Amino acid sequence: MVMSYMFIKFINYEVAMYYINDLTKKIQYYLLNLIRMCRYS
């Protein structure tokens, strides 16, 4: 029982880390685009 609970926690952690990485990449991408727009306008 404890093992399955730990496994589920681990899976949730992995998924959360994946989404956080994806989010930070998207934020960096949008920030770069904003900086480029400000520079070229």
What ranges in 1-41 are assigned the alpha helix state H? 2-40
* CA pair distance 7, 13, nearest whole angstrom: 10
What pLDDT is attached to residue 25? 97
What pLDDT is attached to residue 1? 62
pTM (two decimals): 0.59
What pLDDT is attached to residue 6? 86
Instruction: Locate the domains of the chain by residue range.
Output: 1-41
Burial 3-16 (b: 16+ CB within 10 A, else e): eeeeeeeeeeeeee
What pLDDT is attached to residue 15? 94
* CA pair distance 19, 39, nearest whole angstrom: 30
3-class DSSP state for residue 41?
Answer: coil
What pLDDT is attached to residue 7? 86
Per run of 10 residues, the mean pLDDT along the chain (length 41 residues) is 83 94 97 93 75
- The span from the first CA to the last CA of the chain, in angstroms, equals 60
